[in-house]
Structure 1
């Protein structure tokens, strides 16, 4: 039987953690997190990391295993996750992976694209342009330098646009020319399960989650991290808005409303990313476990 990774994806607050635990218990297996912010032990409430009860319900990997002071990126995660999967598949036919960070999910399933080293000053200049002239200028520059990348990447994500541009400028070649080259074939099959709902439902769930985070102590969590807001890990929705509140730049009510707004925008970007994938099987967030398992078992039979 082929070893199978079941990847559970979807927008923030849709119920991925709950489903992943149900699947892990059904298959008597363990969970790998591919949420790039739940890695950090100082960021628990604001990243909606699994609770102690949820962590006790199924064995999790890559939850709070790093500090915000550590240097950790998608390349390091890919290596760590594949090493972990190699071990887990020795004793399990199935492993569950859960997370809304599309790049990290892709890194595990398909491997990473590798790009040439470029001068770090290029990124600094592009970030300055973003601050002073806005994202549209950078988008138009990318459209001119690499029309293929302009059509394929998450064009409303500033960091994705800047990454593509720095490769174009630094290498003298289109960013898209480095994609899908010589990736390692994985020794396991992957079944992609996506959870979704009507946009209004997703947005309402996000708003309620943010209110709950505040009740559970989000302000206290962020307050402890003051002075470290320049760290990349803290350039995260829920943290950057409250740093502005603590600096007196925003009222608390407005900061919380900004967290909700930016979380909704993030959810929209997540759905845009995942819905470009052809092999994802989408379920309404209320779909029963039995119905999802029926599809998984059918796909497993096809892969055998």
Structure 2
């Protein structure tokens, strides 16, 4: 049987606050790797503290890719991410280094590893119209509308996930065909790499919830609200008619901070809403991860020996 000559890559996946960044850095230093961020918030400049972007010191420990590639008022699609990520992966391999994909955005992982089905391009007018309807009726009402025209998509998309609700309704209204049907059609080419997929997830959900709360409190101490104040004050951001509809501002924590700075609720209420939203994000991430059949799961607190063994079996003998 011929040897598998595909280049190697490591994918480190998991819910938010599960320790992916620290582990990815450890692996990069161990194997001579470069990290490709797979995170839909980290692509935006200025989303640093609240998005847990690797610090300057952490970025100095290993080269990082796909951080700060857009301003927060600019669009960035999963298809663009896949193209940029594959280019970064090819460059890492050409330099004789090990690519390490690390993050928690399932759609981005799907886009780069498996390819995406061809989809109609975004329609700015229709998207704006859906946003206006959401302001008037609420995203739950639009999710109920989606359930009538595309039950499969509505079952996957949470009623508190406006970005995906908007996109699913946009595709249906543009084409008359549900987005779930589009997604079942032929995808682009799979990534021509041999990938070790590792999921970091605490076995006890309460542990993850505690980590989320501790990390958010640390973000507040580091100046998260000042970071959001700075974003709000940027001239280009002030020109946006509906900033809360921007994907960057809808990132978990940022939306709640933006609303708080708009005068909604107390500081304590803001904290509780942000932590609750982060826990819901983690739940959605875990649901997506359970749908994969070829990833290995590890508790980062107790399974380090098993993680090291999995890496050792995957990596070529030195």
CA distance in 1, matches of 2:122, 2:228: 34
CA distance in 2, matches of 1:235, 1:298: 40
Match of residue 59, structure 1, among 60, 63, 69: 63
Structure 1 unaligned runs (5+)?
none
Q: How does 1:30-109 map to 2 (within 5 A)?
A: 30-92=34-96, 94-109=98-113
CA distance in 1, matches of 2:126, 2:201: 38
Shift of 1:47: 0.6
Shift of 1:215: 0.6
Query: SS of 2:104's equivalent?
Result: coil
Query: SS of 2:210's equivalent?
Result: helix
Structure 1 residue 257 and structure 2 residue 272: aligned?
A: yes
Query: SS of 1:286's equivalent?
Result: coil
Query: How does the TM-score come out when normalised to structure 1?
Result: 0.89
CA shift in 2, pair 1:35/1:117, >3 Å: closer
Match of residue 262, structure 2, among 228, 247, 254: 247
Q: Deviations over 1:208-263 (max 9, x none)?
A: 00110011111211111124371432222222222222232222222122111111
Match of residue 117, structure 2, among 107, 113, 116: 113
Aligned length: 301
CA distance in 2, matches of 1:244, 1:210: 17
Q: Which residue of 2 aligns with 1:181?
A: 186
Query: SS of 2:298's equivalent?
Result: strand
Q: Which residue of 1 aligns with 2:151?
A: 147
CA shift in 2, pair 1:145/1:69, >3 Å: closer
Query: SS of 1:226's equivalent?
Result: helix
Q: Deviations over 1:21-52 (max 9, x none)?
A: 11111211111001111122311111111122
Structure 1 residue 272 and structure 2 residue 287: aligned?
A: yes
CA distance in 2, matches of 1:152, 1:210: 27
Q: Is this contact kept in 1: 2:256–2:273, CA < 8 A?
A: yes
CA distance in 2, matches of 1:118, 1:93: 36
Q: How does 1:198-277 map to 2 (within 5 A)?
A: 198-227=204-233, 228=237, 230=243, 231-277=246-292
CA distance in 2, matches of 1:63, 1:268: 24
CA shift in 2, pair 1:2/1:142, >3 Å: same
Q: Which residue of 2 aligns with 1:162?
A: 166
Q: Which residue of 2 aligns with 1:283?
A: 298
- CA RMSD, 1 decimal: 2.3
CA shift in 2, pair 1:143/1:70, >3 Å: closer
CA distance in 2, matches of 1:185, 1:110: 4
**31-40 vs 207-216, which moves further:** 31-40
Shift of 1:275: 1.4
CA distance in 2, matches of 1:156, 1:70: 22
CA shift in 2, pair 1:39/1:175, >3 Å: closer
Shift of 1:6: 1.0
CA distance in 2, matches of 1:151, 1:40: 29
